[in-house]
Amino acid sequence: MTRTDPIRPTDDEARALARGLLAAARFGALGVIDPATGAPAVSRIAVGTTPQGAPMSLVSTLSGHTRALRANPACSLLVGEPGPKGDPLTHPRLSLHATARFVGREAPEHAGLRAHYLESHPKAALYIDFADFCFVVFDLRGASLNGGFGKAYELTPADLLPA
Amino acid sequence: MTRTDPIRPTDDEARALARGLLAAARFGALGVIDPATGAPAVSRIAVGTTPQGAPMSLVSTLSGHTRALRANPACSLLVGEPGPKGDPLTHPRLSLHATARFVGREAPEHAGLRAHYLESHPKAALYIDFADFCFVVFDLRGASLNGGFGKAYELTPADLLPA
């Protein structure tokens, strides 16, 4: 038994599903290149969005993924967590393909990111201002949406972000 | 405020936590290198274990991650899913660093993998014998355990697998 190309044409239903997964994400799985080995490394990070709806995170500068992103900003972020019931492999998920961009406290956009992030992650108030935490925005290159078995789409940044 | 190296010495409690996370995993986030771009790509896959306790999966040969692993078997697999309650970033998780090895139907170990996988994933009986699905075993190079805020460990394959 063989099947043909599983990628479907992108439609408004796929765009709405993908935007909903991104807007609802509070954490995700970040893939980076380990600078020591050149191999991929996946770790869990907090996920929020910028006021414009782009994915972002608050990361520790002591973490391996932050060191990796400073060496090579190419990364991928999986969002869309299965609930406690049902088959996790039929639950929709979104693989974002992105370039990481660090936003320091001196940047004009920092205050807006901080306020917006705290709305979705109020507990982060405990450490958001620590010197060894910083914001990273994920500038999108594209995304792969898996809406469940046999429902795969390749999305552009414009499919994910409001104009 | 700064903190020192967050990696703790590995102890039996860390080993038991890591082994438990791996044994309980039914899915995870796989990081591969996209052969088209050289960038990381993260996607959700089913996760089981071999009869010896090593991580494995049943993957579609039509998927992007399978094509990527055939081009470059270096990969990473994040397991340890947060429950529906509590802070997901304090939930323990394990980042496995591995080399993917495909196991075809002609391989002597195939029957044992198939039987063991179906014990943990009974619904996979619907497609486990499709020609476009195959087994992949993740030969471990090491792992990073995050047992919650400030509880990080670097583990060896021997820490994770029974002797």
B44: chain A residues, CB-CB within 8 Å: 78, 80, 88-89, 93, 146
Question: pLDDT tens digits for B39-77?
Answer: 999 999 999 999 999 999 999 998 999 999 999 999 999
Question: pLDDT tens digits for A101-129?
Answer: 999 999 999 999 999 999 999 999 999 99
Residues 6+ apart with CB under 8 A from A31: A40, A41, A42, A75, A76, A77, A78, B29, B31, B32, B40, B41, B42, B76
The one-letter amino acid code at B76 reads S
- Distance separating alpha carbons of residues A79 and A27, to the nearest angstrom: 7
**Chain A interface disruption, residue of B8, B44, B69, B91, most A CBs within 10 A:** B44
Asked whether the ipTM of the predicted complex exceeds the cut of 0.85, the reply is yes
Residue A42 to residue B76, Cβ atoms within 8 A: yes
Question: Could you say which residues from 93 to 152 on chain A have a Cβ atom under 8 Å away from some Cβ of chain B?
Answer: 93, 95, 97, 123, 130-132, 141, 144, 146
Both tokens assigned to B99: 């080399």
Distance to chain B for A8, nearest Cα, Å: 13
B132: chain A residues, CB-CB within 8 Å: 1-3
Question: pLDDT tens digits for B136-157?
Answer: 999 999 999 998 877 899 999 9
Both tokens assigned to B76: 């990473």
